Amino acid sequence: MSCQKALHSLRPLRILIRSSLISSTPLRPSLLQQRSLFHSTSRKYNQLNETTANKSNEKNESKKDNEEANDSLAAETGVPQGTRADLGEGPDPRDKQIAELKDHYLRALAEMENLRERTRREIEHTAQFAIQKFAKDLVNTVDVLNLALKSVPDDARKDAQEKNPHLHNLYTGVSLTESDLLNTLKRFGVERMNPLGEKFDPNKHEAIFQIAVPDKEAGTVFAVEKVGYILNGRIIRPAQVGVVKDNDNS
């Protein structure tokens, strides 16, 4: 009976021990999980450090390569080159060199265009006035023909066909020659200029004499001794004229 009481008294102790064993059983797996998590975190940290170190090494190598490339480019072009960090702080010297080369190129292009235009104008000018010397000599022949026609009096010319047919034929032939020669000169840009009755222009006319003429405006051409000639707008021979003199200055 006493043994049963003793066992009965020990029952709560057994229950307590059993409960403590049950509660302590999960402690071992939790500790293992913590250790596993620690090792995993440690490995990740080491991997991160290793990756960071590799990137740092790559960056240093890239920077070193850039510096070597810049030094090589500076030796070739003569323009000091900076690293990427230096280029970020200020303007790239290569931009200035590019701008200068572009400016030189545009200037050379403009000069070539101007030269081409000047050459074209000179060729045109040469073609237009190539016969100037020849034309100046030829208009003297026209003057001789004109003087020959003026030497025949009007009265003799009117009756020449009946009374003197030889004179009539000669006069007609000289007149046709003069007319044909003037037409030929005109085809090449040479035109006759007769300023009779026009205002005197020193750029076109050569005043041989001045006379006060009643009922004539001063400075007006009243007589033409020799007609002038123009070649493509250029005066190749001014007209020799007589000009009305101002009476107030007499």
- Is the per-residue pLDDT at 81 higher than 50? yes
Least reliable range by pLDDT among 59-68, 92-101, 148-157, 166-175: 59-68
For helices 132-150 and 165-187, the axis angle rounded to 10 degrees is 160
Residue 141 placed within a domain: no
The answer to whether 220 and 201 are in contact (CB under 8 A) is no
- Is the per-residue pLDDT at 241 higher than 70? yes
User: 98 is in which domain, residue-wise?
Assistant: 91-126
Higher pLDDT, 61 or 181: 181
Residue-wise burial string across 168-199, b where 16 or more C-beta atoms lie within 10 A, e elsewhere: beebeebeeebeeebeebeeebbeebebeebe
- Is the per-residue pLDDT at 37 higher than 90? no
| Cα–Cα distance measured from residue 227 to residue 145, given in angstroms and rounded to the nearest whole number | 13
- Domain with residue 226: its CATH number is 2.30.22.10
Instruction: Please say which residue of 100, 126, 152 terminates a domain.
Output: 126
The answer to whether 221 and 206 are in contact (CB under 8 A) is no
Q: What is the pLDDT of residue 178?
A: 94
| Averaged confidence pLDDT in the chain | 77
The predicted model scores a pTM of 0.52
Q: What is the pLDDT of residue 126?
A: 84
| Cα–Cα distance measured from residue 64 to residue 207, given in angstroms and rounded to the nearest whole number | 89
Residue 189: CB partners within 8 Å, gap ≥ 6?
Answer: 128, 231, 232
Residue 160 placed within a domain: no
Instruction: Please say which residue of 126, 152, 175 terminates a domain.
Output: 126
Least reliable range by pLDDT among 24-28, 93-97, 216-220: 24-28
Q: What is the pLDDT of residue 223?
A: 93
> What is the per-residue pLDDT across 163-183, written as a single tens digit (0 to 9) for each?
888 888 899 999 999 999 999
Domain count, the chain: 2
| Cα–Cα distance measured from residue 1 to residue 68, given in angstroms and rounded to the nearest whole number | 102
SS3 content of the chain, % helix, strand, coil (to 5): 70, 15, 20
- Is the per-residue pLDDT at 118 higher than 90? yes
Q: What's the average model confidence in pLDDT over 119-136?
A: 88
E runs forming strands in the chain: 190-193, 205-211, 221-226, 228-231, 234-237, 239-244
Q: How many Cα neighbours within 13 Å face the side chain of 122? A: 6
